[in-house]
Structure 1
């Protein structure tokens, strides 16, 4: 990769572009990520780094790497910090708050991007005025940067129908079931952040922003690979293929814990649906209200597995499990999860 930054003349003359990077103790990997951003075929107009109270040299390394090239290329650099660690969602929200560009790319500190990521994904916003968020695939790599032979969308076990919905811009039909958007692969229109408001308790930043974008038919999946997504012991949010261990964890989670977690999320979602901030389609609201109602019914399931069987079969046959969750997988999960 060339260390020579893209010139001003190589940028789009249309929508302005920012990179919002969230950092925390990332001194081992941040050099490679910053190099990949400065080596893009289309440079951003601004870079905002929000640091979550790092105790290593993350901030000084990033600033030293970008200040010279940023100034030479006319890129505005902003570094903001927290007094105390606030977590990934709050850190990304803080970074977004300090951007001014029309379109913002989310960046982790420990990945690295292919050279045409920004140029290619930003072009979707030029072509689609109503687009609010675009996301893509990524190769999973280990701590040393070696490919793990797995991509993010494979690790999520995305179904053919879920892919069809996301690629065609009908993302709500997929996201009403589960989150399928990995934030560090995404670019979003800055207006989306104002529309989405505060992130409700229980939601991750990328999940919430994607849900709000999809509610307006403004979410798009470009299924190509534009970056390497590093997996290591320090990941706050990572990706892994769901295997037997993960399956046992999900089926072994007590119903009480499962219900508290989802009730917290749905309380915030219901408030948003009824708030003045809501600007989604009637179809999206119907799907989300249906999801809330389904989980309210799920709370009524008895502790006895035998007594759960017939209600679960009925809701499976009516299509609720397929419409609002992962079909047979979650029907069996509701049946076999321990009651307490």
Structure 2
């Protein structure tokens, strides 16, 4: 998890995650130099499974997620945003797919407002996400959402480190897994409450020139893999 000024929702999200974990699991949090009390709230939970790493300056979500992955120790890595809620059974359903041979698991989520009122029962329908085999389609429109993704440690050799100037880590991971023909499992179950509150890092509109530049950068980086 990468956090930045997440004091409003971080505790609720962590509680929803921790109650599904075993004593052998861990939550790796990289705080991106928050100027609120996010880190203090995390520390007050006093859960030995949480490891908090603080950036000395703000480096953005891509580098923060990379640092979290680099500091993880488990065989399976689940991505999490600071402001969502994990629904009961998420880990069990994703792990079933891993045991069946998946390298990357993507699930759906319920879209909510800031107060967790459901806006849509499917983020993939709401965002018109379409998963196809070719990474070219993914470069055109990214259907991969980090908060809905989990990977095996085995694929770190092909996705890490994240290249500079990619638009977002989830987009990069999805494209590389498709290009390398890794096994991707798409679950239709909504396994989190995906909170949209106006200050989300993801889902923000970009200028047309920036969208074109993002895609050209992504094509160049994926092609070299």
Q: Normalising by the residue count of structure 2, what TM-score does the alignment of the two structures yield?
A: 0.88
Contact 1:132 1:219 survives alignment (8 Å): yes
Contact 1:41 1:116 survives alignment (8 Å): no
| Gap change, CA 1:78 and 1:229, over 3 Å in 2 | same
Q: Which runs of 5+ in 1 are unaligned?
A: 1-20, 240-245, 273-340
- 1:199 pairs, out of 149, 157, 162, with 162
Q: Could you tell me how far 1:90 is from its partner in structure 2?
A: 1.1
Contact 2:176 2:222 survives alignment (8 Å): no
Q: Residue 208 of structure 1 aligns to a residue in which SS?
A: helix
Aligned to 1:92: 65
**Higher share of residues assigned helix:** 1
Aligned to 1:24: 4
The structure having more radius of gyration, on CA atoms, is 1
| Gap change, CA 1:218 and 1:185, over 3 Å in 2 | same
Q: Could you tell me how far 1:229 is from its partner in structure 2?
A: 0.6
Aligned to 2:32: 52
Q: Are 1:267 and 2:202 matched, yes or no?
A: no
The equivalences for 1:50-89 within 5 A come to 50-65=30-45, 67=46, 70-71=47-48, 75=49, 77-89=50-62
Q: Using the alignment, how far apart are the partners of 2:187 and 2:89 within structure 1?
A: 13
Q: Could you tell me how far 1:174 is from its partner in structure 2?
A: 4.9
Q: Are 1:140 and 2:111 matched, yes or no?
A: yes
| Gap change, CA 1:43 and 1:180, over 3 Å in 2 | farther
Q: Which runs of 5+ in 2 are unaligned?
A: none
Q: Residue 193 of structure 1 aligns to a residue in which SS?
A: helix
Q: Using the alignment, how far apart are the partners of 1:148 and 1:176 within structure 2?
A: 27
Q: Residue 153 of structure 1 aligns to a residue in which SS?
A: helix
Post-superposition, which runs of at least 4 consecutive aligned residues in structure 1 deviate over 6 A?
A: none
Aligned to 2:97: 124
| Gap change, CA 1:171 and 1:107, over 3 Å in 2 | farther
After superposition, give the CA deviation of every residue in 1:96-121 in whole Å (9 maximum; x if it has no partner): 11001000111111000111101110
Q: Normalising by the residue count of structure 1, what TM-score does the alignment of the two structures yield?
A: 0.60
Q: Using the alignment, how far apart are the partners of 2:125 and 2:157 within structure 1?
A: 32
Query: In angstroms, what is the RMSD of aligned CA positions?
Result: 2.4
Contact 2:172 2:222 survives alignment (8 Å): no
Aligned to 1:212: 176
Q: Residue 79 of structure 2 aligns to a residue in which SS?
A: strand
Contact 2:129 2:142 survives alignment (8 Å): no
Q: Could you tell me how far 1:193 is from its partner in structure 2?
A: 2.3
Contact 1:192 1:209 survives alignment (8 Å): no
- Number of positions where the alignment pairs a residue of Structure 1 with one of Structure 2: 223
Contact 2:106 2:144 survives alignment (8 Å): yes
